[in-house]
């Protein structure tokens, strides 16, 4: 069966931790979208691992697959594999032949477009990893795929078509001074090296076929979405989004498994008990001042990839209702309940008010969303607790006020909680239901 893990908010909900907990039961951990814009830290046996592309399950000896919906920077891929090997691991990583390759010019163009937008305060605040430009080329049918790296003639043809266009764009539109990042021969040489290594290490797969065979063999697959629903190119607050679909529907498209296969499994929505955002865009429940700083510090809300301080806010329930519908969650994981401990009072944005009307879910227009005023509900705060004692004692060991908060969310989203994160460590978790069981 499959278990699909999806961020319900704006990324950084603690998906890596949930993947890590349930990953034990999985044989294969698959990413279906995004690239090295994601970032997660996993602590195993006291050792800390930071990964942005390779699925973290490989640390536990699982097969990690980058599906066709991903964009792959081979530099990052090999750096992460090499770093794991240096630490004595033997990661089994497979890459879809249909996945698109992030090339050096994609990063340059990502940066320069952000700079251009910044002139009018319109920048997205991207991670600068070349994600948007690579997906643009995929849709524009001028991309280079992993399979192309393995075929010198096809690779050269692809580059000879795409690179001069990019060079012209960079020089003539943006006034840049193009270097090796826009040189066909230089990129070709690098790409051939990537291709040779991918071949030597037998990494390239036809993802759909490879994964379907493993499902047929009775294995367990965990499909790991990166970023979150409100960063989805279709369902998020466009244009302040990433360029792929973190929502669960793309777990089918981005792996080559059928929607019926994914639909027979579980779809777990990961919710942080408050809200954070790295880049630009509306955030009606945003906090500032001392309270924001307190939550940011308690929650360690600084970007894993970029180190940027994250914006923080109260939980936004309209955003979560939208996410529950768009993804069809069968269960929830609510993380970081410990971060809110010690506050006298908590608020959640229960609804929005827009033009005198109450809205229960986010409007489809980002401009309208930014005009929404949150309608808050207050909850009693809960006292500090010992995370390990709560993890050992189970759900009933949580302070009563925290349980009230959790049950409110279960009711509003009509979805049970499978997991509660009560501390930063893997063991500091209350598992109410294992989706693989
Ligand atoms: P991009 O994915 O680098 O193009 O960035 C687009 C938007 O998505 C920006 O607001 C980023 O801050 C945000 N973003 C991308 N990846 C992540 C992530 O893993 N966590 C949180 N935000 C992200």
Q: What are phi and psi of 328, to 5 degrees?
A: 65, 50
Catalytic member of 12, 20, 148, 316: 12
Does the CB atom of residue 33 touch ligand 1 within 6 A?
no
Query: Range with the lowest mean pLDDT among 17-26, 42-51, 165-174?
Result: 42-51
pLDDT at position 184 over 80: yes
Query: How far apart, in whole angstroms, are the C-alpha atoms of residue 79 and residue 99?
Result: 18
User: To the nearest whole number, what is the mean pLDDT of the chain?
Assistant: 96
Chain centroid, CA 298 distance in Å? 22
Q: Is residue 291 a contact partner of residue 325, using CB atoms and an 8 Å limit?
A: no
Catalytic member of 40, 100, 322, 350: 40
Does the CB atom of residue 226 touch ligand 1 within 6 A?
yes
Measured by CA distance, the residue closest to atom 22 of ligand 1 is 11
For residue 214, count other CB atoms closer than 10 A to its CB: 18
| Mean pLDDT, residues 159-182 | 97
Q: What stretches of 120-151 show up as alpha helix (H) in DSSP?
A: 131-139, 146-149
Does the CB atom of residue 95 touch ligand 1 within 6 A?
no
Expressed in angstroms and rounded, the spacing between residue 16 Cα and the centre of ligand 1 is 16
Helix, strand, or coil (residue 151): coil
CA-closest candidate to residue 409, choices 296, 344, 297, 329: 329
Query: How far apart, in whole angstroms, are the C-alpha atoms of residue 146 and residue 71?
Result: 9
Q: What is the DSSP string of 329-366?
A: -SEEEEE-TTTTTT-SEEEEEEEEEETTEEESS--S-H
pLDDT at position 222 over 80: yes
Q: What is the DSSP string of 365-395?
A: -HHHHHHPEEEEEEEE------HHHHHHH-G
Give me the count of residues in the chain: 437
Q: What is the pLDDT of residues 73-117, one digit of tens each?
A: 999 999 999 999 999 999 999 999 999 999 999 999 999 999 999
CA dihedral 412, 417, 420, 426 (to 10 degrees): -140
Q: What is the pTM of this model?
A: 0.96
Does the CB atom of residue 37 touch ligand 1 within 6 A?
yes
For residue 383, count other CB atoms closer than 10 A to its CB: 10
Active site residue 336: no
Does the CB atom of residue 275 touch ligand 1 within 6 A?
no
- Our mutation pick for probing the ligand 1 site, out of 70, 137, 138, 279, counting the most ligand atoms within 8 A of Cβ, is 279
Does the CB atom of residue 68 touch ligand 1 within 6 A?
no
Percent of the chain at pLDDT > 70 equals 100
Pairing of strands 357-359, 100-101: unpaired
Q: Is residue 101 a contact partner of residue 149, using CB atoms and an 8 Å limit?
A: yes
- Of the pLDDT bands very low, low, confident and very high (cuts 50, 70, 90), residue 308 is confident
Q: Which two tokens stand for residue 352?
A: 């929005």
Domains of the chain with CATH codes: 2-95+206-431 (3.40.440.10), 100-200 (1.10.300.10)
- Our mutation pick for probing the ligand 1 site, out of 7, 109, 125, 242, counting the most ligand atoms within 8 A of Cβ, is 242
């Amino acid at each position: 069966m499959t278990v699909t893990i999806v961020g319900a908010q704006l990324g950084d909900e603690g998906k890596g931790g949930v993947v890590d907990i349930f990953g034990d039961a999985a044989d294969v951990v698959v990413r279906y979208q995004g690239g090295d814009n994601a970032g997660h830290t996993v602590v195993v046996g006291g050792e800390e691992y930071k990964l942005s592309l390779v699925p973290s399950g490989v640390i536990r000896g699982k097969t990690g697959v980058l599906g066709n919906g991903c964009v792959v920077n081979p530099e990052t891929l090999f750096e992460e594999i090499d770093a794991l090997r240096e630490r004595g691991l033997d990661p089994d990583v497979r890459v879809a032949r249909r996945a698109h390759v992030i090339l050096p010019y994609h990063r340059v163009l990502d940066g320069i477009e952000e700079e251009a937008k910044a002139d009018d305060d319109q920048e997205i605040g991207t991670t600068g990893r070349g994600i948007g430009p690579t997906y643009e080329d995929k849709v524009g049918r001028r991309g280079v795929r992993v399979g192309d790296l393995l075929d010198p003639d096809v690779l050269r043809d692809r580059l000879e078509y795409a690179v001069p266009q990019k060079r012209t764009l960079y020089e003539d539109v943006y006034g840049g001074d193009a270097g090796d990042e826009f040189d066909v021969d230089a990129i070709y040489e690098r790409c051939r090296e990537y291709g040779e290594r991918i071949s030597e290490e037998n990494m390239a797969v036809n993802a759909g076929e490879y994964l379907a065979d493993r499902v047929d063999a009775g294995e367990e697959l965990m499909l790991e979405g990166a970023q979150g629903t409100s960063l989805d190119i279709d369902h998020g607050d466009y244009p302040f989004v990433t360029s792929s679909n973190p929502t669960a529907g793309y777990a089918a498209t981005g792996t080559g498994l059928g929607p019926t296969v994914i639909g027979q499994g579980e779809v777990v929505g990961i919710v942080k008990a408050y809200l954070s955002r790295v880049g630009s865009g509306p955030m009606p429940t945003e906090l500032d001042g001392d309270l924001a700083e307190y939550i940011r510090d308690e929650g360690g809300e600084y970007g894993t990839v970029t180190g940027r301080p994250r914006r923080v806010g109260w939980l936004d329930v309209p955003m979560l209702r939208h996410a529950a519908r768009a993804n069809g969650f069968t269960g929830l994981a609510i993380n970081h309940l410990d971060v809110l401990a010690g506050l006298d009072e908590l608020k959640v944005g229960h609804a929005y008010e827009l033009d005198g009307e109450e809205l229960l879910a986010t409007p489809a227009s980002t401009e309208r969303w930014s005009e929404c005023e949150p309608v808050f509900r207050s909850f009693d705060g809960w006292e500090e607790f010992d995370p390990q004692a709560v993890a050992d004692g189970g759900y009933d060991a949580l302070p009563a006020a925290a349980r009230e908060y959790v049950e409110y969310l279960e009711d509003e989203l009509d979805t049970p909680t499978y997991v509660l994160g009560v501390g930063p460590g893997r063991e500091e978790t209350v598992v109410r239901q294992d989706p693989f069981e």
